[in-house]
Chains A and B, each alone.
Chain A
Amino acid sequence: MNDMTLTKEQREARLEGMGCKRKRVEDIRFTQGKGQYVDDIKMPGMLFGDFVRSPYPHARVKKIDASRALALPGVIAVLTAEDLKGVNLAWMPTLAGDVQMVLADGKVLYQNQEVAFVLAEDRYLADDAIQLVDVEYEELPVLVDPFKSMDSDAPVLREDLVGKTSGAHGPRKHHNHIFTWDVGDKDLTDKAFHEADVTIKELISYHRTHPSPLETCQCVAAMDKVKGELTLYGTFQAPHVIRTVASLLSTIPEHKIHVIAPDIGGGFGNKVGAYPGYICAIVASIVTGRPVKWVEDRMENLSTTSFARDYHMTTEIAARKDGTVTSLRVHVLADHGGFDACADPSKWPAGFFNIVTGSYDFPVAHLSVDGVYTNKAPGGVAYRCSFRVTEAAYCIERAMDILAQKLGMDPADLRMKNFIRRDQFPYQSALGWEYDSGDYHLAMQKAMDTLNYRALREEQKQKQEAFRRGETREIMGIGISFFTEIVGAGPSKNCDILGVAMFDSAEIRVHPTGSVISRMGTKSQGQGHETTWAQIIATEIGIPAENIMVEEGNTDTAPYGLGTYGSRSTPVAGAAIALAARKIRAKAQMIAAHMLEVSEYDLEWDVDGFQVKGNPQARKSMTEIAWAAYHLPPPGMEPGLEAVSYYDPPNMTYPFGAYFCVMDIDVDTGVAKTRRFYALDDCGTRINPMIIEGQVHGGLTEAFAIAMGQEIRYDEAGNVMGASFMDFFLPTAVETPHWETDFTVTPSPHHPIGAKGVGESPNVGGVPAFSNAVNDAFAFLGSTHIQMPHDSWRLWKVAKELGATA
């Protein structure tokens, strides 16, 4: 078919390629309840597993008596650590180079830790049986406060590590110490502080929270004992890695393990790691030869699988009188809980926290991080952020405001003064990163102009005066956040997971009729890959996106990839997709040349096909070329039209943005109302503006939740508090502010399509904007730094302490 009856614009529009606000194709099934999630999987003879969990945060397990549970008809087995030892699986390796108990081996280290795995004919029976497993505990002293973890008399948590003076990341200096991570030039930093006109120092804590995806972690393990093959359905953000790990742990050959991640109801980092539930379900299926389902409930999810943050950042900035920053010094105390199960690339014990110099031109900086054990659940995942990047962004953005306050400077002006300039890119940061591109001044100025920033400051001043005169009980805050992210992990030279380099992949096959099946090593959990990946291919090879099927998550069919987290899908797999598509286009060009009887060099690309230069009537569309590839390929050429690409990125990408929050706080109740929230994002080339906007809305809603109250709290006795949606703050549409979005475009120079990734920017940039708004509101009453979360009672307490309310 020759499409020359359509204009070029019409043909471009028909592709629905990059830049198109294409509607999400996956939403057709999601909005009708037709998604297929793990819990939708039902197999003949399937058993259900559930955990007996520890009520104590630190205790010796003296005895486990399952006899009453086993007497219940329909209860198949109760697995304990002793049973797992038989298959060498009582412990499992973590992504951070530590080991973690699968089931309590002699002791428990946090409340709700997995103690025994009950296997029964149905879910109700499994829960009934849990109540009948008698476990005898001997309570041990509990360590909750990370600042006390390295006291000389602190209880020994990890008895398995006694006497080990070094771990996966170097020397350990105490029995509860995990690692010290040291980056930057300490001497030059110290020198800069000695010479500084002005310095600030503040302990900035980022509390413990949780990604809390709508769907909890779950799996179905089905061992076919005849074929010796294991099929594992699960909520996996990185299915290929799970297969490799499952093979290494179970000794089942990798090709006999089929890992399938079906539709996933949100991940946000919660579904990167491997959990005891997966291991127990696999073992149980191997033992029984029957499929075993494990589905985590909400409280289990919130209290055991993968918290986020719990970073305590002592932050210092040195500056000149005019506000020019001269040095940054940060020490982090990182609370990892009972095991170091942090999901970072293997060589990065604190992730990419060394992005902490942010958007500013610090000539020198020094960072050290100490990881410690406490009696809390393990995790430390990147909750909708690249590894520890949201902690870093919060740290520097809060600290810049504190510096501005000390200098008596406007925080926007201080930022403008210290931004890395456009002409400094690629920019080498003091802590070792090479920022790819940016125009920070442009973005900041656009944000300030849009909001009429100076007028807001004037209004704030008047409100403060009215408050002092007793005419209002409301105070107003303006929060600024100018964040720089580091995403797209990552180059093989510095990023791997358990030794596997963090590349990603795409495979594209064009069928004879010109439709396409494509598969990637990534796995969407709601990001909309089925929509956006097709758009990249559509633009690259001129086939309408609606004719392109995207499949992910089946390790048998998809090429090997490292999965979706850390905003890495677009920077890494997105590049692989473009490059695979370009291989197809290159072959298509040769086929077209043969069809048109010209040299391939005489052809030029035109939207959806090749035309002879200077003679646009002589053209072949991709549909025609696809048919020819199977029907009559040029002599000597292999038939078919498909390509695979594995992409090892040369560098990370560095999205950035300017976020502003305008907030009013009722000092008598502590209730904060967000009046305006403006988010300008620069994620480089924009593939689908509508999906970007959706991502930003979702991430900002999470940021709002985290800053304003979302918390996994432990009481002094180590009890995990608020591990249900009654208390864990998940805002509804009613509480969520209205979001205004905006953008600038600074393409990544090293990425094939210039895209940088956006999924996590709003969480990273949003939290400091909210917190800075709260802090900005109270600053005129004499406060310097208020710790998150900023829920009403805490803000009321601040107001009370500052004498603003009775």
Chain B
Amino acid sequence: MVQLPLCVHRTHRQPPDQEQAVWPGIPELTAPVREEAVIPGQFTYHRPSTVQEAVALLASHGEEARPLAGGHSLIPMMKLRMAAPEHLVDLGGVAELKGIREDAGHIVIGAITTQHEVIGSELLASKLPILRETSLVIADPQIRYVGTIGGNVANGDPGNDMPALMQCLDAGYVLVGPSGERHVAAREFYEAAYFTALSPDEIVAAIRIPVPAAGHGYAYEKLKRKVGDYATAAAAVMLTRSGHQITSCAIGLTNVADTPLFAEEAGRILTGSSMEADVVTRAVAAAEAITNPASDGRGPAEYRTRMAGVMLRRALARAYDRAAA
């Protein structure tokens, strides 16, 4: 444990109804900006080496503690003093949280596996190539060396790319807390911006993704203003085909609501179709209908909704082409 020579500063997480409209993403500074700063308050830094130790630390410090993975969301928020945990529990030293393996029809990815490691994994390249495709449009290489897949899914930031993908893939999260392990489906995990099913004394230990059928089609289409930006809108598509006909289709949408979106209705409309233009248009309309994006520097809500539709259209076309007929 290292005591950094900083000073005490407390804040509490706000309940969802008090969240400012600046979410998602690290803001755009809408004001009043009273606590404008880039220097974090004081915190105590912990570096446990086992999951058990990490969970015990979180349990003993309660709401004042936060687990730290890659830090690419939490640290900027601390510098802006939008988060001010008194205890940071760095999971970087917990070896059992790292790694990618196959286990009984599932791909299991340890929470602190970096985006860079996801991109480099041969197992994922052969079984789940959409993970690589998505990771490659997250931030930039420097951030991907440090940023983790667990942090990306656990933070509850709707700007992150992995949550909608995990919903599309019907992934499950393995949560570990003082009373043991539990599994929550990605589609059930997100409640509001930065609010998830995760308790303050729990960590996401791993992600379990059912191995999709061989020959599936996939695509992640992301519109962003520049490298490093969150999506203006993005769509993840997984589908299977039999001849011209789509036999299954799952769709996730990124950053067009205060949570990731699983576009169930759109997927249902497409299933059984052969990508006829009118069906695609209906599915896109169904997907657009569930969006509720913020108006921000990326564009007004109307634009972002429409871009979710455009990204979905393009992802569908690419996934359909990629799928074995």
Contact = CB atoms under 8 A, between A and B. Distances in A.
Among B7, B228, B298, the most chain A Cβ lie within 10 Å of the Cβ of: B7
B120 interface: no
Could you say which of B225, B299, B307 has the most chain A C-beta atoms within 10 Å of its C-beta? B225
Given A127-B39, A792-B232, A724 B29 contact: yes
Given A124-B39, A721-B29, A796-B303, A55 B34 contact: yes
Contacts of B188: none
Interface stretch (B20-28, B143-151, B177-185): B20-28
Contact of A721 (B28, B40, B307): B28
A735 B33 contact: no
Contact of B303 (A721, A734, A793): A793
Contacts of B26: 724, 726
A299 B7 CA distance: 22
A793 B299 contact: yes
B226 A734 contact: yes
B140 A732 contact: yes
A726 B223 contact: no
A669 B223 contact: yes
Contacts of A722: 28-29, 297
Interface in B73-112: 81
A791 B225 contact: yes
Given A123-B39, A299-B36, A731 B27 contact: no
Contact of B31 (A111, A124, A670, A734): A111
A763 B223 CA distance: 27
A203 interface: no
Interface in A690-728: 709, 715, 719-724, 726-727
Interface string A80-115: 000000000000000000000000000000011000
A290 interface: no
Interface string B30-56: 111111111111100000000000000
B36 A727 contact: no
A678 B180 CA distance: 64
A376 to B, nearest CB: 13
Interface in B258-289: none
A735 B224 CA distance: 11
Dominant secondary structure at the A interface? loop
Given A721-B28, A791-B225, A792-B299, A668 B39 contact: no
A722 B28 CA distance: 5
A124 B84 CA distance: 13
Given A719-B30, A731-B226, A735-B227, A124 B25 contact: no
B299 A55 contact: no
A253 B229 CA distance: 50
Contacts of A124: 5-7, 39-42
A622 interface: no
B227 A128 contact: no
Interface string A397-413: 00000000000000000
Given A112-B33, A128-B9, A299-B29, A797 B297 contact: no
Contacts of A729: 225-226
A297 interface: yes
A671 B225 CA distance: 9
B62 interface: no
B237 interface: no
B174 interface: no
Contacts of A78: none
Contact of B297 (A72, A721, A732): A721
A723 B38 contact: no
Contacts of B223: 669, 671, 792
A297 B42 CA distance: 19
Given A72-B7, A131-B81, A723-B29, A297 B38 contact: yes
B28 to A, nearest CB: 5
Nearest to A727: B297
B37 A130 contact: yes
Contacts of B307: 669
Contacts of B9: 128, 131
B28 A727 contact: yes
Given A721-B297, A722-B29, A128 B226 contact: no
A123 B35 CA distance: 15
A727 B39 CA distance: 20
A797 B303 CA distance: 8
Interface size class of B (residues with CB under 8 A): 35 or more
Contacts of B38: 297-299
A312 interface: no
Nearest to A731: B226
A131 B33 CA distance: 11
Interface size grouping (class) on chain A: 35 or more
Contacts of A127: 37, 39, 41
A332 interface: no
B215 interface: no
A587 interface: no
Interface in A130-168: 130-131
Contacts of A123: 39
B41 A793 contact: no
Contacts of A709: 225
A791 B223 CA distance: 13
Contacts of B306: 796
A56 interface: yes
Given A55-B34, A131-B9, A709-B225, A726 B25 contact: yes
Contacts of A55: 31-34
B254 to A, nearest CB: 15
B300 interface: yes
A607 interface: no
A150 to B, nearest CB: 26
Interface in B218-275: 223, 225-229, 232
A125 interface: yes
Contact of A128 (B7, B27, B28, B297): B7
Interface in B129-158: 140
A56 B32 contact: yes
Contacts of B294: none
A297 to B, nearest CB: 4
B186 interface: no
Interface string A300-316: 10010000000000000
A719 B297 CA distance: 13
A715 B25 CA distance: 19
A796 B303 CA distance: 8
B31 to A, nearest CB: 4
Contacts of B298: 793
A53 interface: yes
Nearest to B140: A732
Interface string A721-750: 111101101011011000000000000000
B68 interface: no
Interface string A652-694: 0000000000000000111100000000000000000000000
A669 to B, nearest CB: 6
A726 B27 contact: yes
Contacts of A125: 7
A360 B225 CA distance: 37
Contacts of B31: 55, 111, 719-720
Given A127-B39, A128-B41, 15 more contacts: A55-B34, A111-B33, A124-B42, A127-B37, A130-B37, A299-B36, A668-B310, A669-B223, A722-B29, A722-B297, A726-B229, A727-B297, A793-B303, A796-B299, A796-B303
26 contacts: A55-B31, A55-B32, A111-B32, A124-B6, A127-B37, A130-B37, A298-B38, A299-B29, A303-B29, A719-B29, A719-B31, A721-B28, A722-B29, A723-B29, A724-B27, A726-B25, A726-B26, A726-B27, A726-B229, A732-B226, A734-B227, A792-B223, A793-B299, A793-B300, A793-B303, A796-B299
A-B pairs with lowest CB-CB distance, top 6: A793-B299, A55-B32, A727-B297, A127-B39, A719-B31, A297-B38
Interface of B: 5-9, 25-42, 81, 140, 223, 225-229, 232, 296-300, 303, 306-307, 310
